[in-house]
Amino acid sequence: MLKIKHFIQESWLLIVASFAFGLLIAVASASLDARIKQNEKDKLDNLMKSLISDANDFQIAIEQAEIPGDRGRVETTDVYKALGEDGGVIGFAFVAVGAGFADKIKLVIAVDGKCEKFFGFKVLSSNETPGFGSKIKDDDPESDVDFADQFKGAPAQEFELIKTGKLEVIKKIDSQIVAISGATVSSDAVVKIFNMYTDKIREQLRQKGLIGDGK
């Protein structure tokens, strides 16, 4: 009993200080978490606007849409509808996630109001290798065509990645995507993300009556 009393007398300041510091860390963490989420939301809004420049507003069309992935994994994402001046739907946008070379890649993908053609994509977050995999989001000064340009106006269907291609092949807008030289893994990751999400998002839009059934 005397040992316990002595311990409490000697360590009360340390106990109080530890509790106070722990509380401060918890408060700071909660504050930063809210700020990080708000910053990501602001970035998402800006990227959606850059993809669908004619949109006056973005509203959630499907909340927490479920996207079955590999190995039984299920991703969830909100699908936004882009509204034009007259209030009509001119497109849809959503965040799509997949494994890259170094870490997860988060893309913002946009399609037209019928889910037939892509407006393109922007990178929400990525840690791909600078100078190689990072070219999925950076313009390549040594190339006449930006990797992302191949997706603009492309049909909303399954893509095929090809490792090499002449300039005229790269510039052709179709379902074939030419990989970034030296960054095949990152290029393949982007294509896989598109292929994993496109049909599933389209089907859920149909189920909600937000697009036609294609008949």
pLDDT in tens, 29-80: 666 667 777 788 889 999 999 999 999 999 999 999 999 877 778 899 999 9
CB atoms within 10 A of CB 16: 10
Residue at 212 is within a domain: no
Rounded to two decimals, the pTM is: 0.79
**Under 8 Å between Cβ of 70 and 197:** no
**Under 8 Å between Cβ of 58 and 93:** yes
Q: Which structural domain range is residue 16 located in?
A: 1-50
The token pair at 45 is 């809004």
Residues 92, 121 within the same domain: yes
Three-class DSSP category at 110: strand
Residues 117, 42 within the same domain: no
pLDDT at 198 over 70: yes
Residue at 213 is within a domain: no
Domain count along the chain: 2
pLDDT tens digits for range 143-171: 545 788 899 999 999 999 988 766 556 67
Sign of the torsion angle spanned by Cα atoms 13, 14, 20, 21: positive
Q: Please, which pLDDT band fits residue 27 given cuts at 50, 70 and 90?
A: low
Residues 83, 179 within the same domain: yes
- pLDDT, residue 50, reads 94
Residues 186, 127 within the same domain: yes
- pLDDT, residue 215, reads 42
Tokens 């699908």 identify what position?
A: 79
